[in-house]
């Protein structure tokens, strides 16, 4: 069998463990595209052993590299990629929502695909859990915990910007697990009067304060300038938590998720002939198969064909915006 794997979109902690587990099973049969769909288009495909996946198994990042590849969304780019994908019996795609869309297009063009949700944002609609989310949340909480003592020492307010693109899941989870003084998940949450009040209350107690904001709502500097207008004597600092969310080595929990995702992908490849997505739903792993007639079915008995169809349709609606 000739199997191809690629990692697309933002890297996610645990991708390397998935790659290493696949390699352990498939050995010489496993090839990798360098840098996701970009490598597929450019036929930059080599045996995965050349990327030494076992060496990086427990590290963050992706040893086969990632990319965002707008060209794959064009007809010409896609067709180039498709031609190269046709040389393989199955193509495994690790990535987020965008990558899933690309994967579905390949599958609809006759390529046998297996998709594994892997993005720190945890926003892949067909799955309740995406590889790397746990590590990203942990990295945020650790950053805030390691920053707040110095804020406390000065009675300062620190505003932390948290990743997630259009999805507030990381920010929401951090807010539940760290006693923040104010949380901004969406634009409507921005209320400078309330924010300044929360900060002042903490200052009066002789403490620093913590505001967390999902990225892409407002620049930290804009928030600080507006808060300073209300309370010019208060000291504000901004902290973009940033790429430690992706670059932190995977937690033990994420390593376990990675092993499970990979093992299920291996089972699907060896025991069936279908395209599939490995998902985590209702506290357990599940496999969604794509039948030859284009319909979907779940391995789990409690998920009906209609449910799966609904999930897929919902996803398509979301990503087509
Ligand atoms: P993620 O997979 O983490 O959500 P992106 O949204 O950046 O990251 O998508 C990663 C890549 O997936 C894109 O750069 C592009 O190559 C591919 N992709 C995204 N959307 C589509 C689409 N609608 N059709 C085909 N390929 C897509
Ligand atoms: O991988 C997801 C993500 O980290 C988002 O949370 C963030 O908005 C985006 O990627 C950043 O992308 P880039 O690495 O291209 O700056």
Which numbered atom of ligand 2 lies nearest the CA of 165? 8
> Could you give the CA distance from residue 22 to residue 11 in angstroms, rounded to a whole number?
17
The answer to whether the CB of 73 is under 6 A from ligand 1 is yes
∠ at Cα 53 (110, 256), nearest 5°?
A: 85
Domain end among 247, 270, 299: 247
How distant, in Å, are the alpha carbons of 63, 151, 213, 216, 242 from that of 219? 32, 20, 10, 7, 13
Residue with CA at minimum distance from ligand 1 atom 7: 9
Cα 8 to ligand 1 centroid, rounded to whole Å: 7
> Could you give the CA distance from residue 117 to residue 225 in angstroms, rounded to a whole number?
39
Domain match, 115 and 195 both:
no
> Could you give the CA distance from residue 90 to residue 109 in angstroms, rounded to a whole number?
13
Domain match, 240 and 267 both:
no
Position of tokens 């390691």?
A: 146
Which numbered atom of ligand 2 lies nearest the CA of 243? 4
List the domain range (segments joined by +) for residue 122. Answer: 3-132+250-315
Domain match, 205 and 172 both:
yes
Q: What is the pLDDT of residues 180-204, one digit of tens each?
A: 999 999 999 999 999 999 999 999 9
CATH number at residue 177: 3.40.50.460
Instruction: Give, as one character, the DSSP assignment of residue 119.
Output: -
Domain match, 157 and 124 both:
no
CATH number at residue 103: 3.40.50.450
The answer to whether the CB of 99 is under 6 A from ligand 1 is yes
Cα 77 to ligand 2 centroid, rounded to whole Å: 23
pLDDT in tens, the chain (321 residues): 999 999 999 999 999 999 999 999 999 999 999 999 999 999 999 999 999 999 999 999 999 999 999 999 999 999 999 999 999 999 999 999 999 999 999 998 999 999 999 999 999 988 999 999 999 999 999 999 999 999 999 999 999 999 999 999 999 999 999 999 999 999 999 999 999 999 999 999 999 999 999 999 999 999 999 999 999 999 999 999 999 999 999 999 999 999 999 999 999 999 888 899 999 988 889 888 876 666 666 666 555 555 544 444 433 333 322
299 assigned to some structural domain = yes
Domain match, 275 and 304 both:
yes
Q: What is the pLDDT of residues 21-59, one digit of tens each?
A: 999 999 999 999 999 999 999 999 999 999 999 999 999
Domain end among 212, 247, 282: 247
Residue in 168, 176, 102 with CA at minimum distance from that of residue 144: 176
Domain match, 152 and 287 both:
no
Cα 37 to ligand 1 centroid, rounded to whole Å: 9
Residue with CA at minimum distance from ligand 1 atom 15: 69
Would you call 134 helix, strand, or coil by DSSP?
Answer: helix
Position of tokens 């609904």?
A: 310
320 assigned to some structural domain = no
Number of domains in the chain: 2
Domain match, 54 and 182 both:
no
**For residue 124, which ligand has an atom nearest its CA?**
1
Query: Are the C-beta atoms of 143 and 137 separated by less than 8 Å?
Result: no
Domain match, 151 and 228 both:
yes
């Amino acid at each position: 069998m000739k199997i191809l794997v690629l990692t697309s979109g933002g890297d996610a902690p645990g991708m390397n463990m998935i790659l290493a587990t696949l390699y352990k099973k498939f050995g010489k049969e496993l090839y990798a595209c360098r840098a996701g769909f970009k490598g597929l288009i450019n036929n930059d495909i080599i045996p995965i052993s050349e990327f030494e996946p076992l060496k990086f198994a427990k590290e963050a990042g992706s040893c086969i590299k990632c990319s965002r590849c707008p060209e794959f969304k064009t007809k010409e780019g896609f067709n180039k990629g498709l031609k190269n994908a046709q040389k393989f019996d199955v193509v495994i795609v690790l990535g987020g929502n965008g990558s899933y869309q690309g994967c579905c297009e390949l599958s609809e063009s006759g390529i046998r695909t297996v998709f594994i949700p892997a993005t720190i944002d945890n926003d892949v609609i067909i799955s309740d859990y995406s590889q790397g989310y746990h590590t990203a949340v942990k990295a945020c909480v650790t950053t805030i915990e390691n920053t707040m003592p110095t804020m406390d020492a000065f009675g300062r307010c620190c505003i932390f910007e948290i990743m997630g693109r259009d999805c507030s899941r990381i920010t929401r989870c951090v807010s539940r697990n760290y006693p923040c003084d104010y949380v901004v998940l969406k634009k409507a949450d921005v209320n400078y009067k309330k924010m300044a009040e929360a900060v002042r209350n903490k200052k009066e107690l002789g403490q620093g304060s913590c505001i967390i904001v999902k990225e892409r709502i407002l620049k930290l500097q804009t928030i600080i300038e507006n808060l300073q207008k209300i309370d010019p004597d208060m000291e504000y600092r901004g902290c973009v938590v940033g790429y430690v969310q992706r670059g932190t080595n995977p937690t033990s929990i994420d390593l376990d998720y990675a092993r499970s995702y990979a093992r299920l992908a291996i089972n699907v490849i060896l025991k069936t002939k279908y395209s599939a997505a490995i998902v985590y739903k209702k506290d357990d792993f599940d496999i969604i198969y794509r039948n030859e007639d284009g319909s979907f079915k779940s391995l789990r008995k409690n998920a009906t064909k209609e449910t799966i169809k609904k999930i897929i349709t919902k996803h398509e609606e979301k990503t087509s915006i």
